[in-house]
């Protein structure tokens, strides 16, 4: 059996100066796959600005053309419900962004000439105090667009947080969960489509957020 080999190459410019006017602020990881197609990952490397954030992913590059390209954008903490940071990194000189709240607020996937966009709502409607997304709009360059709003249930005493309580899709409640206050677990769920609805009793495991 012939071996399957993935080849990695790295390229980067200087990005340690946060206010460097001439720095591009990018580091690129290129992966050549066994079928000779290429994936290219572009990360930011501007210290205190975008160090380590995935900015662009180009997949299936053949003859210089990508089959799919995904771009990412992130939101700062200014004017938001969430704080700047949630902890302190022991490697503050090289890993400062690891303890910062910078949630992704836009993702655009372009494939075969069509762009599909996921974008968080602006202002305070976009994220809650945990930097979790609340309101988003999903759209495409084909002319389709749909808003979505998510609510969460947090049992902070048991640290059973991050559980979805309700998802509202274009003004219609698509799914809703009722929680048992004694256990912080979902006890009843309701889901609906454009033509029908269903109610079930369930006991899914709670998702717990690490300290």
Q: Would you say residue 181 lies in a domain?
A: yes
Q: Which two tokens stand for residue 195?
A: 């033509």
Return the SS3 of 98.
helix
Closest listed residue to residue 149, CA positions, set 125, 179, 123, 122? 125
Task: Decide if 208 is inside a domain.
Answer: yes
The residue segments making up the domain with residue 195 are 144-211
Closest CA to 178 of 165, 192, 167, 169: 165
Count other C-beta atoms under 10 Å from residue 184's C-beta. Answer: 19
Number of residues assigned to the chain: 211
DSSP assignment letter at 55: E
Looking at the domain assignment, is residue 117 inside a domain?
no
Three-state DSSP at 125 gives: helix
- For each of the chain's 211 residues, which pLDDT tens digit applies? 889 999 999 988 765 555 566 667 789 999 999 999 999 999 998 878 888 899 999 999 999 999 999 999 999 999 999 999 998 877 766 677 888 999 999 999 999 999 999 999 999 999 999 999 999 999 999 999 999 999 999 998 899 999 999 999 988 999 999 999 899 998 888 887 655 556 555 555 444 444 4
Confidence (pTM): 0.82
Q: Is residue 134 part of a domain?
A: no
In a domain, 41, yes or no: no
161 part of a folded domain: yes
**Cα–Cα dist 94/91, whole Å:** 6
Name residue 168's beta-bridge partners.
149, 173
Domain count, the chain: 1
Q: Is 4 contained in some domain?
A: no
Rounded to whole angstroms, how far apart are CA atoms 31 and 211? 35
Asked whether residue 163 is assigned to any structural domain, the reply reads: yes
Q: Return the number of other C-beta atoms located less than 10 Å from residue 75's C-beta.
A: 20
């Amino acid at each position: 059996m012939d071996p399957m080999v993935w080849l990695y190459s790295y390229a980067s410019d200087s990005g340690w100066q946060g206010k460097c006017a001439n720095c591009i602020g990018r580091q690129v990881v290129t992966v050549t796959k066994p079928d000779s197609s290429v994936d290219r990952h572009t990360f930011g490397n501007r210290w205190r600005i975008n160090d380590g954030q995935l900015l662009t992913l180009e997949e299936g590059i053949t003859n210089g053309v990508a089959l799919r390209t995904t771009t990412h954008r992130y939101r700062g903490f200014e004017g938001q419900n969430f704080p700047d940071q949630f902890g302190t990194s022991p490697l503050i000189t090289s890993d400062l962004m690891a303890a910062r709240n910078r949630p992704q607020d836009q993702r655009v996937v372009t494939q075969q000439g069509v762009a599909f966009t996921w974008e968080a709502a602006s202002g305070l409607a976009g994220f809650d105090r945990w930097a979790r997304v609340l309101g988003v709009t999903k759209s495409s360059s084909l002319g389709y667009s749909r808003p979505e709003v998510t609510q969460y249930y947090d049992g902070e005493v048991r640290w059973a947080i991050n559980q979805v309580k309700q998802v509202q899709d274009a003004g219609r409640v698509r799914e809703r969960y009722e929680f048992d206050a004694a256990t912080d677990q979902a006890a009843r769920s309701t889901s609906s489509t454009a033509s029908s609805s269903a109610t079930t009793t369930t006991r899914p495991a709670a998702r717990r957020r690490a300290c």
